[in-house]
Each structure stands twice: as structure tokens, then as C-alpha cells.
Chains A and B, each alone.
Chain A
């Protein structure tokens, strides 16, 4: 793969990887850093990229590895001064909405789910994002996070249970 091909490779996968990084990251700046580091690391492993064999999973596993390293390095710092998680701007187009109240409630619910997902313990958050956002199957997730399929399934169930118990207070 040469530079041009790698550029096309970035174009093909940028949306998925950026969204994944943004969901994992604690703020937008770190999401951009993680996104760039993922492709820089992929570039240094350019010979290992197999275009036919799901390169998206390969990139996602790099992102997960870099994110885990970052979390480990910054664990102590987080204990001293906890970082603030991204709170997406809630946009509600009131003018175009026929049922404003319904729209506001829907938006609030979505924001609430996003907030609760971001508060999940890391091991549950990753599988939930990979399953619902990246639409990966259990087997693919197990390859990305390098865990057995059974572990992925149990984490997914546990994450759903945690979210359900927290969301029942709001919804």
C-alpha cells in the first residue's frame, strides 16, 4: 500500500473511526488525537493492513489499544483532577417540529442514554459502542478487544442491565 492508497484507506474509514474515538474519548481534543494516533500507528504497520480482511476491525483494535494505554497513563491524574466527559450539544429544531414537546422529550432521552453510556465502566462502554455504534458482531468485537466471545456476550448483557437500571429513573 502506497501513500495514495493509504489516503483512500483513511477516507474510507474516517467516519467510523472518528465516531468511535469520539464516543470513547473524554473530550473532543482527545478524540481528535486518538483518531490521528490510530491512523499514524496504522501507517507504521502499513504492511499488516489487509484490505480484504476487515481493515475496520484492525483500526478499531488499534484505537482500543491506544485508548487503554492513555487511560492507564492518566489514571493517577484522573484521581487528582477528574476529567470532564463530552456533553454533546443538544440541538432541537423547534421551528420545523410539528410536535415540539415530543421532540424535546426524544432529544432529552437520547442525551440521557448517551450520558449514561459514557458513565459506564470502560470494559462495558467499549462493547456497547462497538455493538450499537459500529454495528459489529460478537465475533468481530471479540477480535477487536481480544477477549473470548463468551466474555463479550456477558459484558454486553451486564452493560444493558446497568443501563436499564439507570435509565428507568429517567425514562
Chain B
């Protein structure tokens, strides 16, 4: 049995572990395709979410305007309807613009 001193040990470990290698091209292509799918899925989910919020808030607020017992409540619901619609339209436009920017980079 041979003694291994600190210096030799360092050298052995460096020699054995220093090499680095690149992943094969297929692994990288698959990875990039997965990232693109993930990105599209994320954008789709966001658009779906905002569409559902858009319809739900509209239904609630229109019902408020129709069924409101006093003119004050009707006005409050009408104001909410306008504000929420403007907000949702602006956020949807921002999302669609971001998606277009993301898509403009040809990942593959």
C-alpha cells in the first residue's frame, strides 16, 4: 500500500475531475424546444386567465347596474365596469406585446 501525500492527492483529484464536456446537440435542441413550449404555454395561460376575469367582472358589474336598487349603486357599478374594462384591456395589450417580443427571437 502506497502513501498519498496532500500534494499528490490534489494532483490526482485535479487530473481526474478537471475535464469538461459539452452536451450533445440533440439535448440542447430538445431543451430549447421545451423552453419555447413553456413560454407559449405561459402566455396562453395568462391570456386565458385575463379573458375569464374580463367576462366575470363584466357580468357582475352589468348585473349591478341592472339590479342596483338606488341610482348611487348603479353609478358605482357603472364606474367599476368602465375602470375594470380599461385596466383589463391595457394589461391584455401589454401581454400580447410581450409575447410578440418573445416570439421575435428565433430560438431554434
Instruction: Judge whether B22 is part of the interface by a CB distance below 8 angstroms.
Output: yes
- Comparing B35-43, B53-61, B74-82, B88-96, the segment that makes contact with chain A is B35-43
Query: Which residues of B in the span 12-31 have a Cβ within 8 Å of any Cβ on A?
Result: 12-23, 27-28, 30-31
Chain A interface helix/strand/loop/mixed:
helix
B35 vs chain A, min Cβ distance (A): 5
A1-40 toward B: CB 8 Å interface, digit per residue (1/0)?
0111011001000111011001100000000100110011
- Comparing A50-58, A70-78, A110-118, A136-144, the segment that makes contact with chain B is A110-118
Number of B interface residues at 8 Å Cβ cutoff, please give it: 31
Residues of A within 8 A of B49 (CB): none
Contact B16 A113 (CB under 8 A): yes
Contact A3 B107 (CB under 8 A): yes
Given A164-B9, A168-B3, A168-B4, A15:B34 Cβ within 8 A: no
Residues of A within 8 A of B105 (CB): 2-4, 7
- Report the Cα distance A82→B17, complex, angstroms: 24
Instruction: Judge whether B2 is part of the interface by a CB distance below 8 angstroms.
Output: yes
- Of A3, A7, A44, A109, which contacts B12 at CB under 8 A? A109
Q: Which residues of A contact B (CB under 8 A)?
A: 2-4, 6-7, 10, 14-16, 18-19, 22-23, 32, 35-36, 39-40, 43-44, 109-110, 113-114, 117, 128-129, 132-133, 160, 163-164, 167-169, 171
Inter-chain pairs besides A32-B27, A40-B35, 19 sampled, C-beta below 8 Å: A2-B101, A2-B102, A3-B39, A10-B28, A15-B22, A18-B21, A35-B23, A36-B30, A36-B31, A36-B34, A39-B31, A40-B31, A40-B34, A109-B12, A109-B16, A113-B16, A129-B17, A167-B4, A167-B12
